[in-house]
Amino acid sequence: MKVITVIQPWATLIALGEKRYETRSWDTRHRGAIAIHASKKVDKRIGMEEPFFSVLGRHGYTAHNLPTGVIIAKCRLAASMQVVRNGGDHAILDIGRRLIYGNELAFGDYTEGRFAWDLVNVEMLKEPIPAKGQLSLWNYRMPISTIPPDPVGPENDMHIRRAALQADKIITAWGTNGTLLGRDRKVKELLYSFHTYYLQMSKDGHPKHPLYIAGNCEPKAQAEKERLAREALAKSNAELEKKTKAHDDLVRRLNNELQEAKAVGNDEEVEKLQASLKQSETEVEASRQRIKQQEGELTKKPIDVPAVVEKIPDNIQAELDQLRKAQTQSKQTIKFTCRNAKRIRKNRICDY
């Protein structure tokens, strides 16, 4: 869910339904569900002023007992409207020429050119959710401890496999969060016998989600990913060779200095030189381990797929066999994001 962090007391005013519009200096295209996160910062001075003091007091709050560092409410972002006029005791928004006055005006910054986010259907949470706030809109990821025992579901993998059999092209796009519960590894196993594509790769080697990619990006085959991995490995090897040579030169120089320091009995200098030698050896060893890990990723063999799909019920297996024979369906693109199955029939896109 998208979340917006708001400083107190404004966050609590939104949660209580006393403040409808959250004013920002920037616009947003997001519409729909959004959560309100109360930051750890509290403006106690303004909480003691009117109308903040009396409005908070009606609900049993003061500037000193406001919740902080937690998600306190959820609502729906209906619109984002720009302030076109501020008359001192009122303000006018561009959509519908809405008039803002009274407490609503006092609870926001309606300088001309700013934006007012219309928050409706506000619901305060019975139990606030601890979370670390961020700038701009951010995504809330449920902690591991609160995830249900089987969030994927018993038939999700079967539906992924079934959709893949009908697809003309399969694009993986689960992003970095796809690693949750090892789902990225599981889906790779399910799709091992298929030709898969991706749009862009993150720095951690995960296929990026389309939300963060330009619309003109063309799908690339997974073979391209392997080529890039081999190029990265070659680059790492070249860097290691340079680092090893520099390390050898450093060792020779430090050993000479170390002998001189021992000869004159300079114990402090000896300790410094020995520490420098150890640090250089640690850096070289870390480079070797990184290369070994990259080589392991290139040679890693996936788990045998039949062991994954053998639990498919007989009736479903029969339907899959029929689908294999009927490969004349219209072209469609499958996008996998390692979540529970939800088919968007209108756009013929399967989101997993």
pLDDT, tens digit, 9 for 90 and up, residues 263-301: 777 777 778 877 887 787 788 787 777 777 766 665 554
> Does the pLDDT at position 65 exceed 80?
yes
Cα–Cα distance measured from residue 168 to residue 334, given in angstroms and rounded to the nearest whole number: 8
Q: Which of 124, 135, 158 is nearest to 28 (CA)?
A: 135
Whether residue 332 contacts residue 166, with contact meaning beta carbons closer than 8 Å, is answered with yes
Same domain, 114 and 60: yes
Render pLDDT for 12-39 as a digit per residue (tens, 0 to 9).
999 999 999 999 999 998 898 899 999 9
Q: What is the CATH number of the domain that holds 16?
A: 2.30.130.30
What pLDDT, on a 0 to 100 scale, did the predictor assign at position 308? 38
Instruction: Count CB atoms within 10 A of the CB of residue 97.
Output: 10
Asked if residue 232 belongs to a domain, the reply is: no
Q: Where do runs of H (alpha helix) occur along the chain?
A: 10-15, 44-47, 52-58, 102-106, 156-166, 183-190, 222-264, 267-299, 306-309, 314-325
Q: Which two tokens stand for residue 58?
A: 């009606």
> Does the pLDDT at position 339 exceed 50?
no
Same domain, 172 and 55: no
Choose the weakest-confidence range: 58-72, 231-245, 328-342. 328-342
Q: What is the pTM of this model?
A: 0.45
What pLDDT, on a 0 to 100 scale, did the predictor assign at position 350? 39
Cα–Cα distance measured from residue 42 to residue 56, given in angstroms and rounded to the nearest whole number: 14
Same domain, 168 and 117: no
223's CB contacts (< 8 A; 6+ apart) are: none
Same domain, 27 and 133: yes
Q: Which two tokens stand for residue 245?
A: 């040579």
Asked if residue 347 belongs to a domain, the reply is: yes
Whether residue 184 contacts residue 336, with contact meaning beta carbons closer than 8 Å, is answered with no
- Reply yes or no: is the peptide bond before residue 9 cis, omega within 30 of 0: yes
Whether residue 82 contacts residue 92, with contact meaning beta carbons closer than 8 Å, is answered with no
Choose the weakest-confidence range: 42-46, 68-72, 92-96, 135-139. 92-96
Asked if residue 97 belongs to a domain, the reply is: yes
Asked if residue 168 belongs to a domain, the reply is: yes
Same domain, 166 and 315: yes
Q: Which two tokens stand for residue 106?
A: 């006092």
Q: In 329-348, which positions are buried (b, 16+ CB within 10 angstroms) versus exposed (e)? A: eeeeebbbbbbebeeeeeee
Same domain, 118 and 216: no
Same domain, 130 and 45: yes
Render pLDDT for 178-224 as a digit per residue (tens, 0 to 9).
777 778 888 887 887 778 888 888 877 788 888 778 878 888 876 65
Same domain, 204 and 345: yes
> Does the pLDDT at position 4 exceed 90?
yes
Cα–Cα distance measured from residue 79 to residue 54, given in angstroms and rounded to the nearest whole number: 29
Q: Which of 117, 110, 113 is nearest to 136 (CA)?
A: 117
Q: Which two tokens stand for residue 278?
A: 């150890």
165's CB contacts (< 8 A; 6+ apart) are: 320, 323, 324
Mean pLDDT of the residues in the chain: 78
* Maximum mean pLDDT: which of 205-219, 229-243, 301-315: 205-219
Q: Which two tokens stand for residue 238?
A: 């070249």
Asked if residue 231 belongs to a domain, the reply is: no
What pLDDT, on a 0 to 100 scale, did the predictor assign at position 71? 92
Same domain, 70 and 210: no
Whether residue 1 contacts residue 74, with contact meaning beta carbons closer than 8 Å, is answered with yes
Q: Total domain count for the chain?
A: 3
**Domain end marker among 85, 107, 140:** 140
Asked if residue 148 belongs to a domain, the reply is: no
Same domain, 130 and 175: no
> Does the pLDDT at position 101 exceed 50?
yes
Same domain, 187 and 336: yes
Whether residue 108 contacts residue 23, with contact meaning beta carbons closer than 8 Å, is answered with yes
> Does the pLDDT at position 236 exceed 60?
yes
Domain housing 173:
156-223+305-351
Query: Mean per-residue pLDDT for 120-140?
Result: 88
What pLDDT, on a 0 to 100 scale, did the predictor assign at position 234? 76
Asked if residue 122 belongs to a domain, the reply is: yes
Phi, psi of 66 (to 5 degrees): -80, 140
Query: Mean per-residue pLDDT for 155-168?
Result: 85
Same domain, 127 and 212: no
Cα–Cα distance measured from residue 163 to residue 170, given in angstroms and rounded to the nearest whole number: 9
| DSSP notation for 284-300 | HHHHHHHHHHHHHHHHP
What pLDDT, on a 0 to 100 scale, did the predictor assign at position 337? 45
Asked if residue 229 belongs to a domain, the reply is: no
Choose the weakest-confidence range: 98-102, 146-150, 216-220, 242-246. 146-150
> Does the pLDDT at position 110 exceed 60?
yes
**Domain end marker among 108, 140, 172:** 140
Handedness of CA 64, 68, 71, 75 (dihedral sign): positive
